[in-house]
Structure 1
């Protein structure tokens, strides 16, 4: 297919990646706030946890949108996948986001492991987002004139 047919797709991907990064940092800020309130035994505002969950759900949706765009765009442009290291790095980020979201649903007194697993996954996810941003930038350079 012709590249101009896919320019709109790359724009959606760029905005989705930007919003995913914003969501990640908002989640980090609200997560650190919840951790602080928990460790100091201060009362947590009733809206904080639902906000954290809502932003997290939005980030999951954005990352899945990015996965879809990457697959459709790459198949449409090249006819096959795995033309760069961006694919395995992107799949790792998708996996980490899903692990983080899944572990978030398990946090509670019955699953004491879930909170530390969730936090650890999100620390690794920061590295994943950095790598996927770098490799994505390299891929985008192939499409720009």
Structure 2
């Protein structure tokens, strides 16, 4: 018996995006693991470097984990000496988190590995195609955020 797929174009697009995201995550994990980082840890450190003073809630949103999971993730990074957290809670009872110099160095190395993965993913696209893909994906994201 042959399986015939009757997905609509929107369904197919949703599946394709999800498959791409899953493979991207897997390839990033393969490159980050030798550095002792998970994708979530890398995303957290990157967000801390990109946005000094970012709140724990925003960190959780940017790394696609719950606030509780973010707290566990931050505790692990703190034990490894990659972040420092203030003893005193600030606004909304959140403790300020800053990356250490070791985290800055590690994140820069990890960024190169992640860029290599993305380069592999987009290597067959022209600059025009890449610009268009970026614009289209941003428009899709923005449409979902506005709904």
TM-score, normalised to structure 1's length? 0.31
Q: Answer with 1 or 2: which has the greater Rg.
A: 2
TM-score, normalised to structure 2's length? 0.31
More strand by share: 2
More helix by share: 1
Q: Which one has more relative contact order, counting CA pairs under 8 Å at least 6 apart?
A: 1
